[in-house]
Structure 1
């Protein structure tokens, strides 16, 4: 087999492959056997029809086509291996010659990773945020914990902002009740703005047994977007009571005996979180600094595929959050054009980051051990809430292991970069990343790392749209900063609430 490579662009090549016809013999034999199983010729059992009769009744051309289709994947793979090119995506294949008994030839155009060398990364310096936990952050986290243990008591007075009202809602359009926009016994926090627009204003000042009708735009159901006359009837008014910050609360909400012990634990957990954030930021910025030193062309098709992936991911996140893309853009104060530009920029950076980390892994002769692969699968399984064996089986059956190996290699390549980068905080203090890593790992027994697949890590440094989950759901960083004591007490908190 002879293979020639023609460079069409720095990121696309054309392979011209010539194959002596005798190399197709195994494929021809297989084609005859399969066609023999499919045809019925008098005097011969299925699978026993001689080749000359298949040529006569089915046609030699059909046999050749079957053999070529069977041979092409293997011949293409062999050509790629011999030419040592790093292909991306599926090739455009064209059979250019099929001389029966003599020669077979085809061409394959395919995108490739550009050829380049990763420059020296010693001496790079990055600056990350200070790892500071303020008294205000500790107070905020403890206040969140108090909210979990709040109780509701009935109030014999008109509704005020922050009260919880149990209400009935009836929506009508042109005198006809809209069933899917009406409800009864609905518990609503007045002032939260989480229901139909105008409800907060209508409820404020009402007492139990009173009602008020207002005009509002329906946000869901078959008549979503239409204006309706909405009548809100108050069944009861309840006030939220937060527990006092005393020893009794500390013992109720945690394993600690005093508020001081609880505060100390909360501060320690917050400090650990901000140090983890420092490590994640250091990794992102180290890659960002390295990418600034590399200028390479990117295949348009690969970038377009990454753009499509990101748009699909955003669509899924918005759907889960019950938010339209128009509302999301308005919340971000971006036009459609600005959003598309941001996504395209982030996609290009992600593709570039993947290429650079892949090449670095090659230059540094990095490899993935079985233990590292197993550790990755176990970690992902824990995050997904499935058994490691189940995830491993899925990855194997769906041919995902090569992608996992690539992701682990990229992570190791990025680790190598971080080891050679000087990391300082905004106050000018140099951070020993390895020491912090060991300290944090010692506390948890887990490896603390950012999301280090080439695409996502690089994209994060460009403030890409992968971060839309929290933005669309409205979750705040404070929600993630609750102590494990608070997490463990959810059920107890629910039992304490007088709904």
Structure 2
């Protein structure tokens, strides 16, 4: 087989492949053997019919067509390997010549990973906001905990902001009832803004059994984006009574004996959350900084495929009706034009990031270990509510393991970028990134060396050997 490559763009090539028929003969033989088992010819046992009779029966052209279709994927893969290409996406294959007993010639156009000039990662600087935990942050957490242990008590007065009400809702559009908008006995905190626009203002001032109508724009369902007239009826009004913030509350709401111990624990938890947020900011800033510094050519067909996939997912729940999508976007204060622009921007950034991380991973020779895969499986299994082994089987069945492997490798690559860079906050303080990004390669090697030395120092075999030597010396002395 002979192959050549034409570079159509920085991200796309055309592979020209010539396969002599001598290389296809084994495939042709296998095809006829399969036909012999499937076709019954008078006077011959199954599988024993001569090749010439089979050719006469089904036609050599039909057999060759099947052979070529079966052979193309393998020959394409051979050409990709021979030319050391790194394709992304599916190839567009065209047979340009099929001469019986001579040769098969085909072309394959495919997007490839582009060559990327990478910067010196040690010169990369990443700056993020510093972490600070204020008394207000702690009190906000304590307030949330206090509300969790509050009790609701009925009151005989009109509803106010902050009250808890039980309400019935119904709506009409152009005088017609909207069944999906009707609900009864819905619990709601007045002023929380968790329901449709206008409902909180309508509830304020209503007593038990009183109703009020108000106009609003529906944001979901068949009538999304349309103006509706909604009726809200208050069934009950309750206030939340909060426990005192004292030692007794600390003992009720936690394992601590005093309110000050509880506050100290909440401060630690807030600090932990902010450290996680800072780690996420470091990761995002590392990628953002690299994308600003590095030119990454984009494979348009791969970008378009991701754009199409996002659009498909967006309209899947709308019966694939793009008009409904436009109505929904309008109700959200957006438009189809803005959606499409954001979709393309996001797709381009995502693919640029993937290509850049893959190029850096190759340069740094980033390796994915079994522990890395196991950690990701455990994390994903918790997210999906599945056992890790069950999730692994599902990924294998859907051919998603390579995708997960690539994602894990890119995550390790981001960590390597962070370790190579100088990471500080805006106050100039150097940030220790090992907690969330793991130790750097040098640190890991040093730790492994220390562990190995410690193992040798405490090796019972070595100690027994020394004791045996001492015993031998004692015997010799005697």
Q: TM-score range by the shorter chain?
A: 0.7 to 0.9
1:280 paired with 2:280, answer yes
Note if 1:348 corresponds to 2:348. yes
Aligned to 2:88: 88
Relative to structure 1, the CA distance from residue 420 to residue 267 in structure 2 (aligned partners, 3 Å threshold; closer, same or farther) is same
1:198-245 deviations in Å (ceiling 9; x for gaps) = 443443323224444556666666666666665544332211222221
Do the aligned partners of residues 48 and 115 (structure 1) sit closer, same or farther apart at CA in structure 2, a change above 3 Å counting? same
Distance 2:240 2:129 in 1: 37
Structure 2 vs 1, CA of residues 346 and 228 (structure 1 numbering), >3 Å: closer, same or farther? closer
Paired with 1:286 and 1:177, the residues of 2 have a C-alpha distance of: 53
CA distance in 1, matches of 2:302, 2:177: 52
Scaled by the length of structure 2, the TM-score of the pair is 0.81
**How many angstroms apart in 2 are the aligned matches of 1:13 and 1:173?**
56
Structure 1 residues 210, 247: CA separation in 2 closer, same or farther (over 3 Å shift)? same
Report how far residue 51 of structure 1 moved.
Answer: 1.5
Alignment match, 2:246: 246
Question: Is the contact between residue 96 and residue 106 of structure 2 (CA under 8 Å) also seen in structure 1?
Answer: yes
In structure 2, the residue matched to 1:369 is 369
Q: Which runs of 5+ in 2 are unaligned?
A: 440-478
Q: Is the 8 A contact 1:181 1:220 kept in 2?
A: no
After superposition, the Cα gap between the structure-2 partners of 1:340 and 1:51, relative to the gap in structure 1 and judged at 3 Å, is same
Preserved contact between residue 121 and residue 290 of structure 1 (Cα < 8 Å): no
Distance in 2, Cα, partners of 1:223 & 1:280 = 39
The structure with higher relative contact order (CA 8 Å, sep 6+) is 1
Q: CA deviation at 1:86?
A: 0.6
Residue of structure 2 equivalent to 1:112: 112
Would the aligned equivalents of 1:357 and 1:413 in 2 still touch at CA under 8 Å?
yes
User: 2:416 aligned with 1:405, yes or no?
Assistant: no
Give the corresponding residue for 2:476: none
Report the CA distance between 1:3 and its aligned residue.
0.7
Question: Is 1:17 aligned to 2:17, yes or no?
Answer: yes
Matches within 5 A, 1:408-423: 408-423=408-423
CA contact (8 A) 1:318 1:325 kept: no
For residues 328 and 249 of structure 2, what CA distance do their matches in structure 1 show? 40
Structure 1 residues 37, 225: CA separation in 2 closer, same or farther (over 3 Å shift)?
A: same
Partner of 1:450: none
**Which deviates the most, 139-148 or 39-48?**
39-48
The alpha-carbon deviation at position 73 of structure 1 amounts to 0.8
Return closer, same or farther for 1:55/1:173 CA change in 2, 3 Å cut-off. Answer: closer
Alignment RMSD (CA, Å): 3.1
Residues 266-286 of structure 1: per-residue CA shift (max 9 Å, x gap):
110111121222222222222
Kept after mapping to 1: 8 A contact 2:220/2:328: no
Matches within 5 A, 1:119-198: 119-169=119-169, 171=171, 180-198=180-198
In the TM superposition, residue 334 of structure 1 has moved relative to its aligned partner by 5.4
CA shift, 1:62, in A, is 0.6
Give the CA deviation at 1:98.
1.9
Return 5+ residue gaps in structure 1 as ranges. Answer: 440-499
Residue number in structure 2 paired with 1:268: 268
How much has 1:28 moved relative to structure 2? 0.9
Query: How far apart in 2 are the matches of 1:75 and 1:124?
Result: 43
Q: How far 1:65 moved relative to its partner? A: 0.7
Q: Which has the larger radius of gyration?
A: 2
Q: What is the CA–CA distance in structure 2 between the aligned matches of 1:353 and 1:179, rounded to whole Å?
A: 46
Partner of 2:449: none
The 2-side partners of 1:152 and 1:324 are apart by 41
For normalisation by structure 1, the TM-score amounts to 0.78
Mean CA deviation greater in 193-202 or 84-93: 193-202
Q: Which residue of 1 aligns with 2:256?
A: 256
Give deviations 1:117-144, integer Å, cap 9, x for gaps.
4232212111101111111111111111
Offset from partner CA, 1:91-132 (integer Å, 9 cap, x none): 111112222222222111111111234232212111101111
In 2, Cα distance between the equivalents of 1:417 and 1:103? Answer: 49
Report the alpha carbon displacement of residue 308 of structure 1 after superposing the two structures with TM: 3.3
Q: Does structure 1 retain, via aligned residues, the 8 Å contact 2:318–2:325?
A: yes
Greater Cα offset, 199-208 or 157-166: 199-208
Secondary structure at the aligned position of 1:424 is classed as strand
Looking at structure 1, the residues matched to 175 and 329 of structure 2 have their Cα atoms a distance apart, in angstroms, of 33
- Distance (Å, rounded) in 2 between the aligned partners of 1:77 and 1:346: 31
| Secondary structure in 2 matching 1:75 | helix
Q: How far is 1:162 from its partner? A: 2.0
Are the counterparts in 2 of residues 117 and 359 from structure 1 also a CA contact under 8 Å? no
Aligned residue pair count: 435
Q: Select between 233-242 and 6-15 the one with higher mean Cα deviation.
A: 233-242
Evaluate the alpha carbon distance shift between residue 67 and residue 131 of structure 1 in structure 2; reply closer, same or farther with a 3 A threshold.
same
Aligned to 2:378: 378
Cα drift, residue 30 of structure 1? 2.2
Could you tell which deviates more after superposition, 201-210 or 64-73? 201-210
